[in-house]
Structure formats: C-alpha cells, structure tokens
C-alpha cells in the first residue's frame, strides 16, 4: 500500500497542485469492537481533465472515498488536496465553502430539488454563493444545452426521465466550474443504453472542462469511457 501512495505522490508532482490528490487516507468508522476501516491507506491523484473510475462491490468503501474526497467527511488520517488547497486542514465552515466553489457532486439518481425547474437547479449553487448574475444565467443556459436539456429547462424533476435527471444533476455540478467532479453511481436508475450515454457525457464534459473526475460505480460495463480504472476492495484501492 505504501508503494502505491508513493507512486501517486510522484504523479501529483508532475501535474502541479491542481486537481485532486489523496495521500495515505484512512477512515475508520465507529470505535472499539465495532470499528470498521472504510478506507485503508488510500492514495489517489487525478489530474484536471482526467476521468477516473472506481469500481467495487457495495460496502467496499467507494462512497466513503467520495465523502472524504468531497469534504463531506474528515478522514481519520491522511490528507486531501483540492485545487492546491489542503481540504483536510480547513474548518467545517471553510470546507462547506470549498464544496460550494471547487467541488461538483453528481449524486445517485441525481438528487434534484422537487420544486425547482432544471434551470433553477443550476442557479441554486450560485444563489447560495451570492453570485447569481447575468453571467451565471448565461452559463446555466450554456450547460443545459451542453447536456441536451434545452427543451426541458423549465421542467421540474417529476416531469423528467431518469436519464434527463442525471444530465440535469451533471449540469448543476458543473455550474460553479469546479476543479473536482465526484460522481456517485450515475447509472443506478438507468438502463444499459442510457447508462452508456450518461457516462459518455461525463467523460466528454471532464475533458472539455478540465475537471478532475472520480466516478464510483459497481457497474463494470460502463468503465470503458474512463481514462483509468481502479478497483476497491475492503477499503483498499488497486
């Protein structure tokens, strides 16, 4: 495991401090006899524009990897860097701000807000950040077009198909031009054809917008689009 971490350390140096870098990250959940090691000395570096897929069975620690990389959870040990900032050194408040500005999440089944139209879903992060202006609106329209939802911009989640929701979720994640894009089981609600389409779109946007993208999935059929594929077993990455 140590060798892995060192390899990635070397890789990180070549891409500078931009992108995502996890160094020797361990996450232990619970304590005493019930303690579970969700992440076991994980090292991972993703350069801007790179699309990394992490596959593994459920319970292997994939979601924990996203939680730690996305600043939702503090690792027990190790460090996480995002766009040159050490995420693990920030206060809770600063981490929340970092999530807003530098990290894009695409959640399982996309997780849209029921009362907002597709366009409003995209505008919300900028409203939270008090940056809702004409530039933001133009960017929302541009992203909606990029994911092919222009005809659906005024629709609410319950009027959308699973695939459309997934694309709206992706567009929302890209709204703040994040350095890192984290994707959780994007295909869990989609059939085979749509899964392939969704992942192709993620790959396309990753390359076009230079995000450091990590996608976790248990669906091994959709890995082709990724630049690199890791396997996760019992909290270890290989």
Partner 1 sequence: MFLALRDLRFARGRFALMGAVVALIAVLGVLLSGLASGLADAGISGLRALPVTHMAFDEKATSEQFSRSTVEEEDWQAWSKAPGVERAEPFGNTLANAQVTQGAKKGERVNLAVFGMAPDSSLAPRPSKGEGLKEGGAGIVITREIADLGVEIGDVLTADRSGVRLKVVGLVGGTVSYGHIGVVYADLDTWRHLHYGLPGDLPEAASRQATAVALTLKPGADVAVVERATGTLAETKEATFDASPGYEAESSTMALIKGFLYVISALVVGAFFTVWTVQRKPEIALMKALGAPTGYILRDALAQVVAVLVGATALGTAVGLALGSAMIGKAPFSLSAPAIATSSGLLIVLGTVGAVVAVRRITAVDPLTALGATR
Residues that bind partner 1 (CB under 8 A): 58-59, 62-63, 66-67, 70, 72-73, 93, 96-101, 103, 105, 107-109, 111, 113-116, 120, 123-125, 127-129, 156, 172, 184-185, 188
**Cα dihedral 141/146/149/154 (nearest 10):** -10
Shortest gap between Cβ of 127 and partner 1 (angstroms)? Answer: 5
Q: At what angle do helices 162-174 and 118-128 cross, to 10 degrees?
A: 30
Query: Which residue's CB is nearer to partner 1, number 16 or number 59?
Result: 59
Helix (H, G, I), strand (E, B) or coil at 42: strand
Query: Which residue's CB is nearer to partner 1, number 47 or number 123?
Result: 123
Supply 84's token pair: 């040159």
Shortest gap between Cβ of 100 and partner 1 (angstroms)? Answer: 3
Shortest gap between Cβ of 66 and partner 1 (angstroms)? Answer: 6
Give all strands (DSSP E) within the chain, no chain letters.
20-29, 36-46, 51-55, 77-82, 85-86, 103-106, 180-184, 212-217, 228-233, 236-237
Shortest gap between Cβ of 101 and partner 1 (angstroms)? Answer: 7
φ, ψ of residue 70 in degrees (nearest 5) = -95, 5
Helix (H, G, I), strand (E, B) or coil at 31: coil
Query: Which residue's CB is nearer to partner 1, number 8 or number 99?
Result: 99
Shortest gap between Cβ of 9 and partner 1 (angstroms)? Answer: 27
Query: Which residue's CB is nearer to partner 1, number 105 or number 230?
Result: 105
Query: Which residue's CB is nearer to partner 1, number 5 or number 68?
Result: 68
């Amino acid at each position: 495991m140590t060798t892995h971490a060192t390899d990635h350390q070397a890789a990180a140096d070549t891409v500078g401090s931009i992108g995502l870098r996890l160094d020797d990250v361990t996450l232990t959940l619970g304590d005493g006899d019930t303690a579970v090691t969700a992440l076991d000395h994980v090292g991972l570096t993703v350069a801007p524009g790179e699309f990394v897929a992490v596959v593994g069975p459920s319970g292997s620690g994939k979601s924990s990897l996203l939680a730690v990389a996305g600043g939702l959870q503090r690792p027990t040990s190790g460090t996480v860097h995002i766009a040159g900032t050490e995420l693990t050194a920030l206060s809770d408040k600063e981490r929340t701000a970092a999530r807003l500005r530098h990290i894009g999440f695409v959640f399982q089944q996309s997780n849209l807000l029921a009362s907002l139209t597709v366009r409003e879903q995209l505008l919300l992060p900028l409203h939270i950040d008090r940056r809702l202006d004409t530039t933001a609106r133009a960017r929302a329209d541009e992203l909606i077009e990029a994911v092919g939802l222009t005809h659906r911009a005024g629709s609410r989640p319950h009027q959308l198909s699973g695939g459309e929701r997934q694309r709206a979720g992706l567009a929302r994640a890209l709204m703040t031009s994040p350095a890192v894009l984290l994707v959780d089981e994007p295909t869990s609600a989609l059939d085979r054809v749509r899964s392939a389409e969704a992942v192709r779109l993620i790959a396309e946007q990753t390359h076009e917008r230079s995000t450091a993208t990590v996608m976790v999935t248990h669906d091994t059929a959709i890995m082709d689009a990724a630049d690199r594929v890791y396997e996760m077993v019992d909290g270890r990455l290989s």
